[in-house]
Each structure stands twice: as C-alpha cells, then as structure tokens.
Amino acid sequence: MVEENLKLAYGENSDLIKEKRIAGVQALSGTGACRLFADFQKRFSPDSQIYIPVPTWVNHHNIWRDAHVPQNTFHYYHPESRGLDFASMMEDIKNAPNGSFFLLHACAHNPTGVDPTEEQWREISQQFKVKGHFAFFDMAYQGFASGDPERDAKSIRIFLEDGHLIGCAQSYAKNMGVYGQRVGCLRTVCDDKKQAVAVKSQLQQLTIPMYSNPPIHGALIVSIILGDPELKKLWLKEVKGMADRIIGMRSALRENLEKLGSSLPWEHITKQIGMFCYSGMTPEQVDRMTKEFHIYMTRNGRISMAGVNTGNIGYLANAIHEVTKSA
C-alpha cells in the first residue's frame, strides 16, 4: 500500500521514489499518521514546538498535546474577507525561530476551505527555505478537493521542487470512502536512501507500542485500486464526479442566496474548496439555524457541503438568508 501511496502523492515518475529517499509507513488513517509524526517529533526533536494554523481541524491540537509537543499558532484565515490572511501568515512564518515545525494543510483546508494559490505556495516555500523551517503536510482530501489528485498535490510538489525535506500524513477515508477501515500513511522525505531506512526503522519502533500492526483489509482495497490501471482510472473518474458534485452545490447555494435578494457577499462559497464551507455565520446565527430550521452544523459556521443536495439546497439557502438578512 505504501508504494502506491507514494506514487499518488509524489508522482508516478518521482526521483525521490526511484532513489528510495522516502521513509513511509502505513498508519491508522490521517489521524494516526499525524499522531505518529508528533511522537516522532517529540522523540527526536524534544525541545521543538509545532506551529498550527488558526483555525485548523480541532483534533490537530489534541494530537500534538497528547504527544507533549508545545504548540504555537500562525495566522491563516481572514474573517472579514473570508479568505486567506496571506500577509499575516507570511509575517508569522518569517518571525518564527529558524528551524521551526509548521503544520500545513495540503489542500481543502479544514475547516475553512481556503487554500493558498499556486503562487502563494511558492512564496511560502521560499520563506520556509530562508528560515530553515520543516513543513508537515496533512493531506486528507487528495482528489476530493478539485477532482484532480495531481492538482491537489501541487503544494507538496512545490516544496519538493524547492528541495525541502517534508513530512506528510495521507488519509484515504474520504477520497476512497474507507473511513471505517482507517487507511493512511505517514511519509518523510530524507537526504538519502540510508537515512530513509533509519527513519523508517524508528517510525516502526514507535508504532509497535502504539498499535503494533495496522489493519490490512482497507489497505488492500487501496493498494489494489491504485495498482490496477483500469481500477485506478475508474476511481479517478468517480472521485472527480464526487468533487464536481460538491463544486456544483457550492455554485447553486450561492446562486440561491443571491436570487433571494441577500445583500451580503457570498463569493467565498465558490472560492473555497473541498467538503467544507466556512459560511461566515456567527454562533448565534448557527443557533437559529438549529432551533428554527433544524439544520445542524458546527457553531463556527462550517457547513458540510457533502450533505447539500438538489433536494435540500433551496431550504438551506432560505434558512441562511433568514438568519443573516439582519446582519
């Protein structure tokens, strides 16, 4: 499973794979891969801390906390524009101590759906190079964001082009629908083959008291699909269909709100990407959504776009309009 996983993330013809410079181990989905790296970080860089974006997936804080790695934060989301606070993000990267660890979302940032542009990723990579920072990517939605796994891996490819030794947690829970099978992978890029062997050995030493061996059933599903050209072609078609449906629902939700006469700007719905839409609704407005319309979401206003369909989108848009029109 790990070998096919590497090809998907780093490219079929990656020199890193040919040179055996990547230490990869199967992990318990993306969560397990993050936790494994956090323990690795604590063991081999005990005085380091992790910089985490504001906001992030809530479990990131739990993972590094339980691994006893001190946490710091960096700017990411800009509430007023409902987009990326790029200037503040770059300033935080610049001001962090040299050689700091940063957690980055490879694509479809959770919970905001806000990703840097390709040019912004290049600037981020260059600033990391100047500061000697280590980038750890959490990639939970490859293929599920844009519908194209190659495009969704662009952030990682940019860092690799610039010569970074990165870490990456990969999950197949969403893009292959195997959430209950806990299929994931942790990978770290190393200086050479010898170092990769040593790093993989140490990662395996960490897994033994944690979960011993990972489950095989889901991993075989992923391995068979990615390893068979015809099955992989079918999977790529289906994952694009899923991503395109969500993108279509974003457009429809925005159109519905604008047709209702909402005076608020809703461009962020279609600019954001992935499963989640950071709507901009306040906790009080979300409470009204629940109490008056029986629509449920997290109180930060995050909508799961995967739950929106042609049958409920009109009702959803009307509810959002009702609770936000006095804002």
- Asked if residues 306 and 246 have their Cβ atoms less than 8 Å apart, the reply is yes
Q: What is the CA radius of gyration of the chain?
A: 20
Q: Which of 174, 200, 235, 266 is catalytic?
A: 174
* CA-wise closest residue to 135 among 178, 65, 187, 173: 187
* Residue 197 half-sphere exposure toward CB, CA atoms < 13 A: 4
Q: Which of 42, 57, 85, 92 is catalytic?
A: 57
Long-range contacts of 69-74 (CB under 8 A, 24+ apart): 69/38, 69/41, 69/42, 72/96, 74/102
Q: Which of 42, 138, 200, 235 is catalytic?
A: 138
* Residue 198 half-sphere exposure toward CB, CA atoms < 13 A: 7
* Residue 168 half-sphere exposure toward CB, CA atoms < 13 A: 29
The number of residues making up the chain comes to 327
Asked if 174 is an active-site residue, the reply is yes
The SS3 call for residue 201 is helix
Give CA–CA dist 98/128, Å, rounded.
9
Q: Cα separations (Å) of 128 from 45, 124, 134? A: 18, 6, 7
Asked if 115 is an active-site residue, the reply is no
The bridge status of strand 71-75 relative to strand 50-54 is parallel
Asked if 191 is an active-site residue, the reply is no
Q: Active-site residue numbers?
A: 57, 138, 174
